Structure 1
Amino acid sequence: VKLVITCFSVLPHHLFYVTPIQKCQADLKSYLLNQTKNLFQGTEENGSSTPLKDTYTELYITEGGSGEVNNEHEVVELECKRSTSEEKKIHLNIFEPLSNGENRPQRVLTKGIAGIGKTVAVQKFTHDWAKGTTNQNIQFVFPFTFRDLNLIKDKKLSLVDLIDHYFKEVKDLKTEDYENSSILFIFDGLDESKFPLDFKKSQMCRSVTKTTTVDTLLTNLIKGKLLHKALVWITSRPAAASKIPPEFINRVTEVRGFNDVQKEEYFQKKINDEVVAQKILKHLQSKLVRSLYIMCHIPLFCWISATVLQSLLTDTPENELPKTVTEMYTHFLIIETKRKQQKDYEKGEPDKDLIMKLGKLAFEQLQEGNMIFNENDLEDYEIDLKQAAVYSGVCTQIIREEYGLHRQECYSFVHLSVQEFLAALFVLETFIDSGKNLLNRHLTFLSKKGEISIFLLHKNALNMALKSKYGQWDLFLRFLFGLSQDKNQKLLQQVFGFQGRHPQSNQETIKYIHKKIKKLSYTDMSINLFQCLNELGDQTLVEQVQTYQSSGDVSKISPSHWSALAFVLLVSGENLDVFDLKKYDMSDEVLERLVPYSETLRLWLNIEGQRKCFQQCQIILFFLFRLSDCNLTDRCCGCISSVLSLKSSGLEELDLSRNTLQDSGVELLSEGLKSPNCKLQRLRLIGCNLSERSCEALSSVLSSQSSTLKELDLRNNNLQDSGMKLLSAARKSPHCTLETLRSGHNYLYM
């Protein structure tokens, strides 16, 4: 022992010296480790806070393409494209190169629908870094949420001030430390941002000490102008991802959620009673509630389902268990109310009054895009703080210690979907009680019988959802329709004493939704409208498709029916008999509806891992490369080109023969053929009214480095000698992989 002490006593003093950077890093890690150690689902008060290491189920993150940001309408359970076997699973190593020679991405956008686990992924990433187990090549990680940043959006700060505002642990860092250190900025929840984020008009800012708006700091960080070496990670719902221009994103990833195996693991971990867990799974996997089981790939919905079904299974008949999303959330509200009552807090105002106040807060703040509130906000709505805290599952008190410019308590709903549910409940009950339509600020007209017609409210809500740029009213719409159902109305009357509307038909609303589905040219919103029909108990479009398909009378299939067919494939969980798609009345419009659906279906099969689903998707995929004699024009080629450009596209054969594609169509098609993601090997364009102009486009495809074509059939087209010379020259390119070329002159290259 003496020898050891002596040895250490003579070591140079500088070996024990900790630099200011090292101290800041250690303090930051300690702080973040403490902040991320527990995983919350719901609220801490209702016992849902558990150690992250004990409950974290890996949320796979897949590469979604470099810079490909889609402006999608968000549909909670179905707007989630699934990866194929060719996609690369990258877990949480989102800044690591995926192959040799690939540069490290500097700015990453991670997409995922509401409740899928984006924030949990950020928490796990931060926790592992703070613990020292991963990503140690990064010296500082600064995780921000747009919810927090919204609170100071009108402040003027420097980047150093902004960091010090949230992370006092690094207040001793100098300007040069920021310039020379490896730093990661995380911005979680882009969809909740209140910042304009105008990347074209934002002012330039390159100094970390320059005082400017928070919006300017954000745009310059993302553009790489401010701290150009820093890493940036942004998470967002898909609908809002387009707020960031694709040229500023190096990698797009997606949180995939739970597959079937992970769903079962979750319920077994969450529910100690194995018998009850199996009963829950049996209910969710049953044919009638298949869409709820699909929705369970969202971790938050798993938690709500476990909470509701575990409570109901003891005293509720199986046929009375929730079958729709709205029914599930209605029961969730009831269960949280019972929890409040069990705390003997019975001297306050009636449950209905408090729920309506919370609903008014939810709706009006949703209109403003607010998801987080302060004490003054609650007081404005006459919500007693004690009641709000006791009403733990509905309105949750969140204590956030914020250093620097702010230090206050903040409040939020347990999840945005709960806010949307309460907002829909408030709008509907206001309409029923007073006839006031909050969606257009006018009193509603009465029907001939003197009853308040709910169709006007439904119509306003549907049009509002269709006009919303980022699909932010889609789930609100679904809840509004679901709450209008007599079953949910009776539940609300029995438990809370809501007045309830007189039983009346929703047929006028259903007809209006059918009309809108027929007019929609894009698929994302039409899927949500099918879910709205499901909430209203209408399956007529789906049933018509099933009848036509089983009878073989396919002449009546319309474009809207193709949407219904895709919806059936997606939620049925059963096989449809393989049928001859050549019998269908094809057109450009049908193809434009079908292609995006087929991609969603095909990508979805991988996470669900179901052979049946795979077989269903193959029906559509089989159709995609046998499009000859389908009355198609050049209009369809852009749609097909987009499919060929997808990373998940596995098409190797495409037959477009005897369609009026013309040269303009081939030029559109060539863009997809030149994509590095294209896997096409055989292309047939027989009799498509092509000239030498098409040969110019195709020769550029054959000469491109990414060309994979081995067979090209151009017979019965007016290519002329000039066109064939262009193709012959391209054939000599070192990049050309073509083995067989057929033309109207019977040219043959082997």
Structure 2
Amino acid sequence: MQSDKLKEWGIGFCDATFEDTEEESCPELSDPHLLDIFMGLEKDILTFVQEQLRRLYKVLASDYPEYLGHEEEDPSTEAFLNITVDFLKRRKQEPLAERLHSLSPRVCRDELKRFLQQKFSCVSEGIAKAGNPALLNQIYTELHITEGGAAEVNQEHEVRHIEAASRKPAAPETTMKCEYLFKGHKQAEETTKRQGPIRTVLTKGVAGVGKTVLTQKFSLDWAEGRANQDIQLLFPFTFRQLNVLRDRQFSLVGLLQHFFSETKSLCGLNHQVLFILDGLDECRLPLDFSRTRVLTDPTESVSLEVLLVNLIRGNLLPSARLWITTRPAAANQIPAECVSMVTEVRGFSDSQKEEYFRKRFRDEQQATAMISHIKKSQSLFIMCHLPVFSWMLTTVLHHVMETEVKEQLPQTMTEMYIHFLVVQAKVKSVKYDGRSVTDPHWSPETRRMVESLGKLAFEQLQKGNLIFYESDMSECGLDAADASVYSGVFTQVFREEPGLYQDKVFCFIHLSVQEFLAALHVNLTFFNSGVNLMSDSESEKESQTMFYESAVDMALKSPNGHLDLFLRFLMGLSLSTNQRLLSGLQTQTGSSSPTNVEAAEHIKEKLDDDDEDEGYMKLSAEQRMNLLHCLNELNDHSLVEQVQQSMREGLLSDKELSSSEWSAVAFLVLSSDSDLEEFDLRKYHPSGGALEGLLPLAKASTRVM
């Protein structure tokens, strides 16, 4: 049998070449073991060739050629594909050869990487599409990311999250870098071995903290071969994109081909695939994890909510990895059993803030001066935890330094946002209207635009919407056809996200910008028409005092603080110094100094009011802190100065202070650089009022005595 096989292969001892050669001189031809190996090899190779040819035929005849990658990449499979391509070309089947070549997992990955590099290499800070793009790798500043925590719901206003994050944590935290997201930290290695690899990571973070840029940096690092090369294919999605398709049906395969057509044919749906789902809080799809049917076939067309639920649950592609980002308030939409690890993006740490500003102010002396100025205002420095806020503040400081004297640098949140709006108005006036730098920046067109955007901001804030559509704009008198003008003019205030089929999603760059414009709208409406949008009464024109008091009362009715920052802005807009910057928008004279004093006194009364019979719940510690921020915006420092005097005289342990004064003590300590490792309550006068007022200090301290 072996001799027959040798003859079949054209090898024999009677061959003319070996006719006069002794058998012993050709031992390799007579080695029975070697012959058995090659006979078995022939059988294996023929079987492999038959299977691969059938497989490639099915792939070319199928509507879903990505099935090439359903198994892990095999070098022999890749080599055979290349051989087949070569033989097809020999047979003059160029179209088939090119099509088959495009289905190579390696080719798919290379094309996807090129596409992602092109998409994410440049960003325009703070804006969606306009402005001066910069290389992401050059402007990116490392973010503070912590590992651990639960995906619990938290409905408090995000400014409270930011202020809490700015304080020293009560216990040591595990920090991590973006590239190690699916690897965890060293202390968790044993746990990971027991529980299996990390499949789904849920990353929380408030609006503007850098979640989206983080996903872009992760994608770019992968595409450029810097990190996570164990991932075969990476597909980043945003829920804004998916919302546009909410009325259509897709298979997972079809959805990938739809969004990533640059790769021609997607392949490799195995455990080396990572899906990024950015912005769960903006999802307008009903994700029902309890009643949605099971789906396991990636080629079956279903509604997007069925597809996403099964992908997250692990019914669909259980070996795929998922990274979901969300604001904290929406984190509970994903069941805990579907999440392998929770992380939180905290934005910039204090040292990272300084690093950021030194990058933006190249002159060292100038950078040091700006950092020193920002640190003097607690509200500004705290908000700099947000990269988007740091960028806005940098924009304002650059502009003010060029046009104003140093003493006029913004000191409060309201001043900063007014300056920011003025900067954009001037850009619009000069760049788009062809006006001179010395011309008034509040042109009639700009004024109408600000008024319309303010109305949109207020109405959407009342509805709890951060993103809106053309119908929402039309209701506020904004023509959707001019949306590109709004996003092109106020590129840093208002932006559009192009979706599919020319549908667009609109938003302000940050919730705080929306809240500022909403407060500006309420302020302008009252002083231009006498209508108080913060009052339930429509029968009579209210006084300025009633206007501000009703705003304070309405904000205090919201236990979760959803009007906290809005109220700060509204109080700040009452100052004559701020109104001068807005002259041209406000047709009537704004509030007077006596009105500001009355508003401040009303706030102090609320801080001292412990009577729950008047229809208001007792103030929480967070509400007290926000009212003190409102006093700061009103430029009323009397309460703080009063307790500062008591602190200097060492009277806090002997003197019984009012509730408002104890709250001011907490506000002062939290605003300082004091070490909060240990809070000794024994240093203060023993009373219920002291304990209640100092509660924020206790919450922020590691240990309370």
TM-score strictly above 0.5: yes
Q: Is the 8 A contact 1:455 1:508 kept in 2?
A: no
Residue correspondence of structure 1 range 273-672 to structure 2 within 5 A: 273-286=363-376, 289-343=377-431, 345=433, 349-373=444-468, 378=473, 381-383=477-479, 384-385=482-483, 387-396=485-494, 398=496, 400=498, 402=500, 406-439=501-534, 442-443=537-538, 445-447=540-542, 453-455=546-548, 457-459=550-552, 461-463=554-556, 466-467=558-559, 472-493=562-583, 495-503=584-592, 504-505=595-596, 506-507=599-600, 509-511=602-604, 513-514=606-607, 519-520=617-618, 523-539=621-637, 542=640, 546=644, 549=647, 550-554=650-654, 556=656, 564-574=664-674, 581-582=681-682, 584=684, 597-598=697-698, 600-602=700-702, 621=703, 624=704, 626=705
Q: Is the 8 A contact 1:483 1:489 kept in 2?
A: yes
Matches of 2:116 and 2:138 in 1, distance apart? 18
Residues 451-508 of structure 1: per-residue CA shift (max 9 Å, x gap): 57313541464046x155xx55443333233223333223212x53543423123136
Q: Is the 8 A contact 1:39 1:55 kept in 2?
A: no
Between stretches 51-60 and 379-388, larger displacement belongs to: 379-388
RMSD of the alignment, in Å? 3.8
- Among 314, 325, 344, which residue is 1:224 paired with? 314
More helix by proportion, 1 or 2?
2
Between stretches 111-120 and 214-223, larger displacement belongs to: 214-223
Q: Is the 8 A contact 2:143 2:349 kept in 1?
A: no
Residues 605-632 of structure 1: per-residue CA shift (max 9 Å, x gap): xxxxxxxxxxxxxxxx2xx2x4xxxxxx
The change in CA–CA distance for 1:562 and 1:428 in structure 2 (over 3 A counts) is same
Q: Is the 8 A contact 2:676 2:700 kept in 1?
A: no
Residues 680-723 of structure 1: per-residue CA shift (max 9 Å, x gap): xxxxxxxxxxxxxxxxxxxxxxxxxxxxxxxxxxxxxxxxxxxx
Deviation at 1:318, TM superposition (A): 3.4
Deviation at 1:36, TM superposition (A): 0.8
Matches of 2:392 and 2:183 in 1, distance apart? 35
Matches of 1:218 and 1:14 in 2, distance apart? 33
Aligned AA (1:382) = L
Between Structure 1 and Structure 2, how many residues are aligned?
581
Q: Is the 8 A contact 2:657 2:690 kept in 1?
A: no
Q: Is the 8 A contact 1:523 1:596 kept in 2?
A: yes
2:208 is the alignment partner of 1:208: no
Deviation at 1:579, TM superposition (A): 8.8
Q: Unaligned regions of 5+ residues in structure 1, if any? A: 1-10, 603-620, 627-750
Deviation at 1:544, TM superposition (A): 5.9
The change in CA–CA distance for 1:239 and 1:593 in structure 2 (over 3 A counts) is farther
Matches of 1:170 and 1:440 in 2, distance apart? 56
2:176 is the alignment partner of 1:90: yes
Q: Is the 8 A contact 2:274 2:320 kept in 1?
A: yes
Q: Unaligned regions of 5+ residues in structure 2, if any? A: 1-77, 86-100, 436-442, 612-616
User: Percent identity among equivalent residues?
Assistant: 40
The change in CA–CA distance for 1:328 and 1:35 in structure 2 (over 3 A counts) is same
Aligned to 1:253: 343
Matches of 1:84 and 1:44 in 2, distance apart? 37
Residues 39-77 of structure 1: per-residue CA shift (max 9 Å, x gap): 321347874420011111111312133556655442164
The change in CA–CA distance for 1:80 and 1:47 in structure 2 (over 3 A counts) is same
- Structure ID, larger Rg: 2
Residue correspondence of structure 1 range 125-164 to structure 2 within 5 A: 125-164=218-257
Aligned to 1:51: 135
Matches of 1:69 and 1:302 in 2, distance apart? 27
Equivalent position SS for 2:117: helix
Residues 525-574 of structure 1: per-residue CA shift (max 9 Å, x gap): 54444333332334566556545553134563677766544433322235
Aligned AA (1:87) = E
Aligned to 1:657: none
Equivalent position SS for 2:123: strand
The change in CA–CA distance for 1:393 and 1:517 in structure 2 (over 3 A counts) is farther
Deviation at 1:247, TM superposition (A): 3.9
Q: Is the 8 A contact 1:374 1:410 kept in 2?
A: yes
Equivalent position SS for 1:502: coil
Q: Is the 8 A contact 1:112 1:236 kept in 2?
A: yes
Equivalent position SS for 1:186: strand
Larger relative contact order (Cα-Cα within 8 Å, sequence gap ≥ 6): 2
Matches of 2:385 and 2:427 in 1, distance apart? 27
2:170 is the alignment partner of 1:74: no
Q: Is the 8 A contact 2:257 2:265 kept in 1?
A: no
Deviation at 1:97, TM superposition (A): 3.1
Residues 97-117 of structure 1: per-residue CA shift (max 9 Å, x gap): 323313233222222233221
Aligned to 1:612: none
Matches of 1:389 and 1:346 in 2, distance apart? 18
Aligned to 2:208: 115
Matches of 2:109 and 2:170 in 1, distance apart? 39
Q: Is the 8 A contact 1:398 1:410 kept in 2?
A: yes
Residues 596-651 of structure 1: per-residue CA shift (max 9 Å, x gap): 7545455xxxxxxxxxxxxxxxxxx2xx2x4xxxxxxxxxxxxxxxxxxxxxxxxx
Matches of 2:673 and 2:144 in 1, distance apart? 23
Residues 220-265 of structure 1: per-residue CA shift (max 9 Å, x gap): 3333343333322222233433443444333221223223333232
The change in CA–CA distance for 1:374 and 1:67 in structure 2 (over 3 A counts) is closer
Q: Is the 8 A contact 2:607 2:624 kept in 1?
A: no
Aligned AA (1:323) = Q
The change in CA–CA distance for 1:303 and 1:419 in structure 2 (over 3 A counts) is same
Matches of 2:426 and 2:217 in 1, distance apart? 33
Between stretches 317-326 and 452-461, larger displacement belongs to: 452-461
Q: Is the 8 A contact 2:156 2:562 kept in 1?
A: no
Q: Is the 8 A contact 1:458 1:481 kept in 2?
A: no
The change in CA–CA distance for 1:600 and 1:186 in structure 2 (over 3 A counts) is farther
Equivalent position SS for 2:582: helix
Matches of 1:524 and 1:368 in 2, distance apart? 23
TM-score, normalised relative to structure 2? 0.72
Residues 297-326 of structure 1: per-residue CA shift (max 9 Å, x gap): 322222111111121124434333211111
The change in CA–CA distance for 1:42 and 1:86 in structure 2 (over 3 A counts) is closer
Q: Is the 8 A contact 2:607 2:619 kept in 1?
A: no
Matches of 1:424 and 1:107 in 2, distance apart? 39
Matches of 1:526 and 1:225 in 2, distance apart? 48
TM-score, normalised relative to structure 1? 0.68
The change in CA–CA distance for 1:131 and 1:592 in structure 2 (over 3 A counts) is farther
Matches of 1:201 and 1:328 in 2, distance apart? 48
Matches of 1:373 and 1:592 in 2, distance apart? 40
Deviation at 1:123, TM superposition (A): 1.0
Equivalent position SS for 2:112: helix
Aligned AA (1:95) = F
